Amino acid sequence: MKSPYSTNEAIKKLATNNCSVTFRQYPYQLLNGILGILFPLITYPYLTRVLGPERLGAIHFVDYAVGLIYGITSLGIPAYGVYRIAQLQATGLSKRQSYTPMMRMHTLLGAIGFGIFYILFADHENWNYVMPLFPLGACYLIANSLASDWYLQGRQHFKTIAIRNLIFRGLGLVFIFLWVKSPSDYSIYYWIIVISVIATAIYNLAWIRRDLKNEAALPVSSSIDRKEMFLFFIATVFISITDYLDATLLGLLSNETEVGFYTNAAKLVRLSLLVTLALNAVVFPQFSGIQAQQQPTRSVELLRKSVDWLIFLTIPISVLYLLFGKELVLVFSGPAFTNSISSVYWMAPIPLFISLSNLLLYYGLSSRPELQKRIAVGVAVGILISIGLNSWLIPLYGAKGAAMNSFLTELGFLIFFLLLIKPTIPVETMLKAGATALIFIPVSMGMEATSWTNLTKLLVGGFSCLMLYGLIQHYIWKHPFLQEGLEMIRKK
């Protein structure tokens, strides 16, 4: 059956609107990132004080272990799915022949992977509160696989994702404050998380089913390329593994309390990534569409602008973590998590490292096949090195050792991708961002000299630093992104 529009027409339309689509969609994904920050900021200070390091560590261990299993058993489907669906969307072909086998494979392998993990580690001697959460973790894993968020991202329906998350996370927030009242309620808290993921899966499946019905008239696409998908798996598994491997190995080599200290620091630092990675989530389908158009010049230009934007955002964020890490931990987690402070300092540069590595990875996966192979080999070597570092550092330093490994691993990945992709480095933006962020130091020293509470220091100091950064970038350095943003606001 003939497509309602030809492949060439679809590609021409996408090429014409590519950059404008990217920046029109970014506010929705940015909203999604902000929601991902806002709700934890509201609930986390409450949960850390109610549940404490040990029980929160048990929840985080299961959560991170599930994330690790999800990443390994996904076979690269979350990233390959975005890439594949975006290409089919650009060329006007049906997506059913790609979506159905990937969704089924993802769900089956996730369930098998969790079963193997449960059998191997069910009798770990250092776990006091983990075991009751394992069945919930299995439900979480299967529901997350069924949800297939990669389909909506490939279709670039970021508005749909943002509205859905606003509703479900809002309901979850209400239930947390209603039902989690004491340390013994830690399993109730995880139940709330799991139910929200199940609700997301149900909503997504209904949306995808309706979307596939609407394209019944489109020509049938070829099935998935399993060799290409395997390269995506090897290359993208580091995104999940570096997030979850440290905490999982820490739980296996140490105890729930050390996991609580480490994951507390990791969550506080990685919250900022929800804003920066929002851009990457929008740009990746664009890279894939451009690859279908065979227009490498447009891809390079999009990469250049994205690198510039990420450096502009992440340098001040990393400096703020270095200067206000202690206040951040004491305000959001309380004195019981004081041991997390050193881990925050070690992981302070991670927003810069991960944001750029993630962007360069997506660019590389959307480029030439030989580049995909090099990424796969480099990432596999990096994972083995990370496991070795964890096995050495965790027994010596516990939670801080896991944080040290995270710093070294993410820095290594960034160096690898910079050498491989060779993007244009915006030296001017980097120098201006670094020089402006140096002004944060006297602000931090001024806050330290006061007798104010940690909350006041954090709010006044952080707000002052961000205001100074924005004003200097706009009025002195005249950063183009700020200029363009203000111009868009004026037009609206």
Summarize pLDDT for 215-226 with one digit per residue, the tens: 765 555 556 777
36 pLDDT band (50/70/90 cuts)? Answer: confident
CA dihedral sign of residues 194, 199, 202, 206 = negative
The rounded distance, in Å, linking the Cα atoms of 343 and 328 is 12
Cβ neighbours, 10 Å, residue 165: 18
- 135 lies in the same domain as 31: yes
Question: What pTM, to 2 d.p., does this model score?
Answer: 0.76
pLDDT score recorded for residue 292: 64
pLDDT at 363: 85
Check whether 320 has a pLDDT greater than 90: yes
Statement to judge: residues 345 and 462 lie in one domain: no
Q: Indicate if 392 and 276 belong to the same structural domain.
A: yes
d(CA 242, CA 289): 28
Task: Please give the average per-residue pLDDT across 20-27, as a whole number.
Answer: 55
| Predicted local confidence at residue 248, as pLDDT | 83
- Distance CA(298)–CA(133), nearest Å, equals 48
Last residue of a domain, one of 392, 418, 438: 438
Which of 337, 272, 341 is closest to 310 using CA atoms?
272
In a domain, 464, yes or no: yes
Same domain, 448 and 425: no
Together in a domain, 157 and 16? yes
Identify whether 1 is part of a domain: no
With a cut of 50, say whether residue 28 has pLDDT above it: yes
- pLDDT-based confidence at 9, cuts 50/70/90? very low
**Chosen domain end from 414, 438, 462:** 438
For 76, how many CA atoms within 13 A lie in the half-sphere containing its CB? 21
Q: Could you report the per-residue pLDDT of 343-358, keeping only the tens digit for each? A: 999 999 999 999 999 8
Same domain? For 312 and 189 the reply is yes
Query: Pick from 197, 218, 236, 213: which is nearest to 80 by CA?
Result: 236
480 in the same domain as 385: no
User: End of a domain among 394, 419, 438?
Assistant: 438
Residue 2 within a domain: no
Nearest-10 crossing angle of helices 273-293, 7-73: 130
447 in the same domain as 434: no
Do 473 and 420 lie in a common domain? Answer: no
Task: Find out whether 465 and 440 touch, Cβ atoms under 8 Å.
Answer: yes
Q: Looking at per-residue confidence, does 209 or 110 come out higher?
A: 209
Instruction: Please state the domain count of the chain.
Output: 2
Which structural domain range is residue 459 located in?
439-492
Percentage of residues of the chain with pLDDT beyond 70: 84
Q: How far apart are CA 462 and CA 323, in angstroms?
A: 9
